[in-house]
Structure 1
């Protein structure tokens, strides 16, 4: 269906733009940008390689989100200087990372909760709390990485939002927007587990992962039709 193929098409477009950027960097003999762009291309292949390695079907919308984030943060942000061109770029990306990490944390603990071979059952509140803390913890580790790179190698990864801001201020802004993104996902995840009436994009994404990876979950669990699930 056209709607289901759209994430795949967008993923291919982003990867094509990366190859164009690589060709342009080589043509202009910008060797550092060429090396960085090559690394980005390799990173964008990780979701596909990991899925094949561990025999896990990763819905194309997940792959698009991961590749889109890498494209925006490294290729546009670092290589093309969007962090300095647009003051809000860093905030938008950290909010997005809160969403992505929140979804990842939620799926990890949800998988354990529903797996027949793991004899444990966690309450919806704890699953949502774990997703929130997972995202916030990963965000904190990233801030430590940025600080370490700046201190050891003299880079400028802790880019202040405004000229009079310090690295500490930038770190706090980043963690706050990380927390906001993670909180939104945790609330949506909690509503999904409590069978709230309101439906959300998160529920469709969760079921897309469950339906396409049934071996990880309770085989007696009632499934939903695939017609409205993202590919």
Structure 2
């Protein structure tokens, strides 16, 4: 009896082992390993310092690092290496550097930079979701380049708005101050109208504000002005998200206009991997029985 050799179908990238992926994408593997090691070191340090909330943030960061790989393996989507590296760096910059190392406070433009990048990345993801359907013969979706760009822009802005809703909820219910406050030197409100009407009344050149609590205690803020409660920060975040979304939407428009020839846009647009039919269970046994 001659045993037939089992014929193995070539798997797609999502079937490859971790060792094979590391061999093919050494730069990505280095970034992934270095970031994970840094997060683990920070987590250990925060644990011994008794900062268990930061320990949770580190665990959350490690989980978020796995998302691109999980997407590739479960829904057969190939995430470009450039996009994956930026996503990993974005998560590290937001959670570890921004929250734990307080870069949001130390560097005033850190939050602005991340929100701009978020607008760009979300536009890329929104663009790819529709572009995948646009290229798939199984779906009757065929959008022009301008509509793809509009969808990408709207998707990015929607994500940005939802995130601001989340920040507002955390500030309102848990007093976390995710919407960072801004010191302003002038305010204008109809609530300051002495006649109680609808006329905006302005107060300018504010140098300090005294807060009086219910027990009669007075607290001078000592901030050199009036403390805005997150409004300026929210508007700034949405504006820079808008800028990032517009930039990628324009890039995506020309990418589709030129039928996918753009090299830059391709680095940020996930692609559907071809699905290799799995060999039915018991195929090897049937081959052996047939050879007898």
> Do Structure 1 and Structure 2 share a fold, with TM-score over 0.5?
yes
1:199 positional shift: 4.2
Return the alpha-carbon distance in structure 1 between the equivalents of residues 76 and 259 of structure 2. 32
Return the alpha-carbon distance in structure 1 between the equivalents of residues 87 and 95 of structure 2. 12
The structure with more strand, counted as a fraction of residues: 2
Q: Is the 8 A contact 2:83 2:267 kept in 1?
A: no
Residue aligning to 1:72: 93
Aligned ranges 1:1-231 → 2 under 5 Å: 4-160=25-181, 162-164=182-184, 165-195=228-258, 199-206=262-269, 209-210=270-271, 213-214=273-274
Q: Which moved more, 1:68-77 or 1:196-205?
A: 196-205
Q: Is the 8 A contact 2:76 2:273 kept in 1?
A: no
Higher relative contact order (CA 8 A, sep 6+): 2
Return the alpha-carbon distance in structure 2 between the equivalents of residues 123 and 51 of structure 1. 27
Q: Is the 8 A contact 1:11 1:68 kept in 2?
A: no
Pairs aligned (count) = 211
Aligned to 1:163, the other structure's residue is in SS state: strand
TM-score, normalization: structure 1? 0.83
Which sections of structure 1, spanning at least 5 residues, go unmatched? 216-231
Q: Is the 8 A contact 1:8 1:64 kept in 2?
A: no
Residue aligning to 1:221: none
Aligned to 2:77, the other structure's residue is in SS state: coil
Which sections of structure 2, spanning at least 5 residues, go unmatched? 1-21, 185-227, 276-292
**Rg (Cα) greater in structure:** 2
Residue aligning to 1:229: none
1:106 positional shift: 0.6
RMSD: 2.3
TM-score, normalization: structure 2? 0.67
The structure with more helix, counted as a fraction of residues: 1
Q: Is the 8 A contact 2:130 2:148 kept in 1?
A: yes
